[in-house]
Structure 1
Amino acid sequence: MRGAVVEIAVWFGVLVGMTVVLISSVSPVELLVAGVAASGGALAARRLRLAAGIDPGGARGALRSAARLPGAVLGGCAVLARAVLARALLSGPRQAGLRRVRLRPGVGPGWAATLVAASPDTCVLEIGEHGEVLVHALGPRPGPVERVVADSTRADAS
């Protein structure tokens, strides 16, 4: 029960925070609307997670991954821009490919896949049952978030 309350409260906070950041001026009416919408969104997010049978997993490396996310997004934008320009000019080699990333013990596959996929040059295609994710990446090297969550002793390319 306590876990459910914490999960719903976290979703509520994230959704209200996003709404407040994205609106131009914050008035009491807008806060009320944000709160009502976030309440429904938080309850729906929990219900969907339970229906999908997804366990958030452990939090090992979560703070380090979140701290590296802005750099991963900027770096991913650069890789994406390079790939688009190379394709437009038909002069660059294609380096995109698939790789399976085995996660370190204690890393939750759900949040790890979300952070890895947040970079514009990566897309998580599948979250496996045995602590691994299938990633399509435009670049040959893992990004900063991926390096934090991956078990480098067991990583392999597909």
Structure 2
Amino acid sequence: MRGAVTEVALWSGVLVIMTVMLISSVSPVELVVAAVTGVGGALCARRVRLAAQVSVTGWRGACRAVLLLLPFALLRGCSVLLRSLGRRREAPDVWQLVRLHDGTDAGWAGVLTAASPDTCVVDSPSSGELLVHAFHEGGGPLQRALGDSGEVR
């Protein structure tokens, strides 16, 4: 029961914040509407997750990756992207199959990997793997923390 309340509260908070951010000037009526629709959306999101029998795992690893590694991955990704734009000759693209460490959920790992400007998650062939397209060989610190990279092409 406590987990359900926490999940609905988190979803509601995210949805209300997103709604308020998209409105230029927020009146009290718009706040009430955002809160009511946020709770409704949160209840629907929980219901869909339960119907799909999806469980969220690996929160400790996700928090560590977001707080410690994501800022550096974003900076590194921007520099790699800028260097690749400045080159006159084309550098070969790199396709990697990332095998995630035990306890790492492919959902949040894919989101974190795709957040870096120099990588794009193309597919998740299984629950423990990600197919990643990148502008450079070898993964960054975030990708190495999430799993082991194997060269595909």
Query: Which band: TM-score by shorter chain?
Result: 0.7 to 0.9
State the TM-score, normalizing by the size of structure 1: 0.76
Query: Paired residue for 1:62?
Result: 62
Aligned partner of 1:146 among 139, 143, 146:
143
Gaps of 5+ in 2: none
Query: Paired residue for 1:39?
Result: 39
CA contact (8 A) 2:97 2:130 kept: yes
CA contact (8 A) 2:106 2:127 kept: no
Greater mean deviation of Cα atoms: 70-79 or 94-103: 70-79
Equivalences, count: 151
CA contact (8 A) 2:122 2:132 kept: yes
CA contact (8 A) 1:58 1:107 kept: yes
Alignment RMSD (CA, Å): 2.6
Query: Paired residue for 2:93?
Result: 96
Query: Paired residue for 1:106?
Result: 103
* SS in structure 1 at match of 2:78: helix
Matches of 2:53 and 2:124, distance apart in 1: 12
Closer/same/farther in 2, CA of residues 69 and 33 from structure 1, 3 Å limit: farther
Closer/same/farther in 2, CA of residues 55 and 85 from structure 1, 3 Å limit: farther
CA offsets per residue over residues 106-144 of structure 1, 9 Å max, x none? 111111111111112211111232411111112223123
CA contact (8 A) 1:73 1:118 kept: yes
CA offsets per residue over residues 1-26 of structure 1, 9 Å max, x none? 55443322222122223344555554
Q: Does 1:117 align with 2:118?
A: no
Closer/same/farther in 2, CA of residues 84 and 113 from structure 1, 3 Å limit: same
* SS in structure 2 at match of 1:120: coil
Q: Does 1:15 align with 2:15?
A: yes
CA contact (8 A) 2:77 2:116 kept: yes
Calculate percent identity across the aligned residue pairs: 52
* SS in structure 2 at match of 1:123: strand
Matches of 1:49 and 1:156, distance apart in 2: 31
State the TM-score, normalizing by the size of structure 2: 0.78
